Structure 1
Amino acid sequence: EVKSVIQTLQNSQDHMESRITETEQRISKIEDDRGTESQRIQQLEQRITAAAECIDDLENRSRCNNVRIIRLPEGVEEGNPIAFLQKTLPGLLGLESGMYLEMERAHRVLGPHPAQGQHPRAFIIKLLRYLTRDHLLRATRLKDQVMWQEHRISFYPDLSRDLQMNRQKILQNRKIKYGMFYPAILKITINGETT
């Protein structure tokens, strides 16, 4: 009887050893797979980061002919923003006579119509040529203030929010005091010297 009990214990121990060996093999395989998956996830994260940077670059390139106009009252365009801006901007900015602002499109920024007393939505203009955009922004820099019917109007290049936030983070990380001044002139103060 003792021999049979010992034999049973021996069989049980052999069975446990085989299960432990099998479990160790499974754990080893899982660890190996995890290492492979970890590398794969890291590669995918790098590809996603590269794709996001590419998308941001493409978005900013698609906006390179855009100008953002701030504080033009709502409804002044009377349903035809291109005609209104082509008629108003040359006189407002003192552009040479006969200059025609070729616009691909013009519209208000998407969003709900502002309530009474709120700031009007910005205008986005997509000019047909980059040189026209550059000329328009240069003309705004030459004027001290751009006024239209007692409203101070501001003109800015149209940049993506991500690009603006990245520039802001870089300056903050370097502990550089900065500010954006009309019309979109970057002012930087380093070691007490302002540029």
Structure 2
Amino acid sequence: MSGGVVTKVGRDQQNGQNSKTIEQKRDEEQVQHAEANSLALTMRSGLEAISKEIRDLKTEMKKDLTTLKEQVTEDVKSEINDLKREMYQQLSANTKTLQAQGSRIAEAEGRIAETETWNMEVKDALCKSLKQQQMLQDKLTDIEGRSRRNNIRIFGIPEDKEGDSAPKYLHQLLTTELSLPPNVNLQIQRAHRALAQKPNINSPPRSMIVHFLEFTVKEMVLKKAWQKKIVVEGRPLIFDHDYATEVVQKRKAYNGIKKLLKEKGIRFQTPLTKMRIPGTTDRSSTDPHKKQHAMPWQRVGERREGTARRAKEKLQEFERITQDSE
């Protein structure tokens, strides 16, 4: 009996303990649930705060982006406007420069064209002047040659051989060596050495020039001298016409040909040079008009009447002065 009571009491105690344990668990669960709710509320409030901060941040960022966009847009517009303004100013300056250069180029082209025209007119006048000068030079050479027609030039007479009187010495020499009659009168007007510096002893002597009064006497003496070999102090004398300086220079150009003809034994004759006038059948190769056509610079375009007229007037004035001087 007592055992059963003890068992019942023990069971009651055990049940009481179990009930207490369940209540404790229930309390703990409530506490945990309350804590969980509190934590959830805290988290919810935190999330709401974070969400609000995010919304505020988005709003602020949106405002900042809008402001930045507007500022960037304004800056870009300002930069573009400045660039446009600078480009326009530069383009305007370049346009003015090109216009100035265009006007200068046009002016330069006009001056070049005028210079070319004037150059050709001057060339024409110069060629005609050169032609007239050459003709006058030929006339002068012909006059000089005619003034020397009565002269004979003798090469090979030793220096100072003539003594005090060259005409007397040459009269005696020619009369003796050419076997002329004693009473012949050669009519030597004057005789002298070539107007050059006296050479050294071992150098060839200067030539002697003899002027006769009569051309026929001069020709007779020259022909006889060519037919006979005259030697003085072991040196052969050479007789020739007294040519003008220009004629001598032209004749020197044929020295090689004359030497070759002598070596081959071919007889030849070199008469006095005749005057050649451009425009005849025997036209000179140095004709100024031929030189003009051989020039690389040729006329471009038509001549200007004013320039041509001025050049023509100057040329006529030059011709008039030349004719008056003649």
TM-score range, shorter chain: 0.7 to 0.9
- Who is 2:261 aligned against? 178
Tell me which of 88, 91, 102 is aligned to 2:173. 88
- Who is 1:33 aligned against? 118
- Who is 1:107 aligned against? 192
Q: Which amino acid aligns with 1:59?
A: E
Name the SS of the counterpart of 2:198 in structure 1. Answer: coil
The question of whether the paired residues in 2 share the 8 Å contact of 1:74 and 1:120 is answered with yes
- Who is 2:109 aligned against? 24
Correspondence 1:10-159 to 2 at 5 A: 10-143=95-228, 145-159=229-243
Structure-2 change in CA distance of 1:172 and 1:103 (3 Å): same
Q: Which amino acid aligns with 2:236?
A: R
- Who is 1:193 aligned against? none
By how many angstroms is 1:179 displaced? 4.2
Name the SS of the counterpart of 2:237 in structure 1. Answer: strand
**If the length of structure 1 is used for normalisation, what is the TM-score?**
0.76
State the number of aligned residues.
181
More strand by percentage: 1
What is the root-mean-square deviation in Å for CA atoms of aligned residues?
3.0
The question of whether the paired residues in 2 share the 8 Å contact of 1:69 and 1:155 is answered with yes
Name the SS of the counterpart of 1:187 in structure 2. Answer: coil
Unaligned runs of 5+ in 1: 181-185, 189-195
More helix by percentage: 2
The question of whether the paired residues in 2 share the 8 Å contact of 1:171 and 1:178 is answered with no
Matched, 1:187 2:260: no
Q: Which amino acid aligns with 2:246?
A: D
The question of whether the paired residues in 2 share the 8 Å contact of 1:146 and 1:152 is answered with yes
Deviations 1:95-116 (A, max 9, x none): 1231111122100112222222
Structure-2 change in CA distance of 1:90 and 1:19 (3 Å): same
Which shifted more, 123-132 or 150-159?
150-159
Tell me which of 145, 157, 163 is aligned to 2:247. 163
Name the SS of the counterpart of 1:156 in structure 2. Answer: strand
Structure-2 change in CA distance of 1:46 and 1:171 (3 Å): farther
Structure-2 change in CA distance of 1:80 and 1:164 (3 Å): same
Structure-2 change in CA distance of 1:49 and 1:176 (3 Å): farther
By how many angstroms is 1:128 displaced? 0.8
Deviations 1:1-25 (A, max 9, x none): 8597365555444433333322222
Give identity over the alignment, percent. Answer: 23
Q: How far, CA to CA, are the matches of 1:133 and 1:99 in structure 2?
A: 13
The question of whether the paired residues in 2 share the 8 Å contact of 1:72 and 1:122 is answered with yes
Q: How far, CA to CA, are the matches of 2:160 and 2:110 in structure 1?
A: 73
Structure-2 change in CA distance of 1:9 and 1:177 (3 Å): same
Unaligned runs of 5+ in 2: 1-83, 269-326
Deviations 1:25-70 (A, max 9, x none): 2222112111112212222222232222222222221111111112
